[in-house]
Amino acid sequence: MSGSAESSRRDFLVKMGGAALAAGWSKPPAAAAGANKNQNVLFIAVDDLNDWIGCLGGHPDVRTPNMDRLARRGVLFSNAHCPAPLCNASRAALLTGVRPSSSGVYTNSQPMRQSEALRDAVTLPQYFMSNGYRVNRTVNLMDIYPTLIELCGLQARNGIEGASLLPLLRNPQAEWNRPSVTTYLRNNHSVRSERWRYIRYGDGTEELYDHRNDPLEWNNLAGKPELKKVKAELALWLTKINAPESPASTGAPEGDY
């Protein structure tokens, strides 16, 4: 390993060692535990946050008033550490409660479910779901715009293609049959429901994955005749418009945001 690479690795480890974990409680944990069957949980994960938030010393170019306020209301762990200094290994450990040294997942190129120790591991969201929590409602980031409009009582606008999430904010168990559509370049779309992901490419190629039994999308089921109806139902949500590509810029991206 070169000197610069070793230095970067040390710097990364030092920064990650200073990372903190903040949790807000309306009651002390012992009291909250027996209050209701299902306690409300808000899990916020931020990649590469470092210790730049105000409650951990801050940074001259960073302002984090809301996170600082949350820290003041709850418990701030200022000496918290990640289980590994790589995204995939750390995420796998966080979600399964199994150390990298036990799972063998050490790098970003090792799928979690390929580990013998984690093949059948129950992740944190899965365990909560099995105990009555609904943590996998399918939404899209485009839904933020109409949600904020409705929450703030502003007049609804035409031309917005997302849907307000207010029904789910009011009742997480509310009926929600709207899948999420993701587009990669022109004419390539995926439709994700709570169970299925259907992908159709511009050349007509299809993929279909059952996230209930295949969360990592290893087995393409698009060719199975018995799933023709599933594909047809998901295909109804494919966009009917595929606009020509807008003009490109050779310089830095510009925009009035």
State how far the Cα of 108 lies from the Cα of 127, in Å rounded to an integer.
Answer: 24
- Structure tokens, 148: 């904020």
d(CA 140, CA 179): 8
Sign of the alpha-carbon torsion through 238, 243, 244, 246 = negative
| 230, pLDDT greater than 60 | yes
- Say what the pLDDT of residue 23 is: 39
d(CA 211, CA 2): 42
What confidence score (pLDDT) does residue 253 get? 52
**What burial letters (b/e) apply to 62-79, b meaning 16+ CB within 10 Å?**
eebeebbebbeeeebeee
Distance CA 91, CA 97 (A): 10
pLDDT tens digits, one per residue of 70-102: 999 988 888 888 899 888 999 999 999 999 999
pLDDT band at 256 (very low <50, low <70, confident <90, very high): low
% of the chain residues with pLDDT over 70: 83
Confidence of residue 218 (pLDDT cuts 50, 70, 90): very high
Query: What CA dihedral angle connects 90, 85, 77 and 91, to 10 degrees?
Result: -10
Predicted confidence at residue 252, as pLDDT, reads 52
Residue 150 has pLDDT above 50, yes or no: yes
Lowest-confidence pick of 58-62, 134-138, 167-171: 134-138
The confidence score (pLDDT) of residue 32 equals: 45
Give the neighbor-by-neighbor strand order of the sheet with 180-183: 180-183, 189-192, 196-200, 206-210
- 48 Cβ contact partners less than 8 Å away, ≥ 6 residues apart: none
Q: What is the pLDDT of residue 235?
A: 97
Neighbours of 89 (CB within 10 A): 22
Q: Is 73 left (phi over 0), alpha (psi -120 to 50) or beta?
A: alpha
Domain residue extents for the chain: 3-129, 137-176, 179-242
pLDDT of 33 over the 60 cut: no
Reply yes or no on whether the pLDDT at 205 is more than 70. Answer: yes
Mean predicted lDDT score pLDDT of the chain: 83
Report the top-level CATH class of 179-242: alpha beta
Contact of 23 with 74, CB cutoff 8 Å: yes
Q: Can you name the residues that pair with 76 across neighbouring β-strands? A: 22
Does residue 202 have a pLDDT over 70? yes
pLDDT beyond 50 at 213: yes
Say whether pTM exceeds 0.75.
Answer: no
* Gap between the Cα atoms of 194 and 110, Å rounded: 25
DSSP code of residue 141? G
Report residue 146 as tokens.
């109409």
The tens digit of pLDDT for each residue in 173-197 reads 899 999 999 999 999 999 999 999 9
Q: Pull the structure tokens for residue 186.
A: 């022109």
Going by their DSSP bridges, the two strands 75-77 and 180-183 should be labelled as unpaired
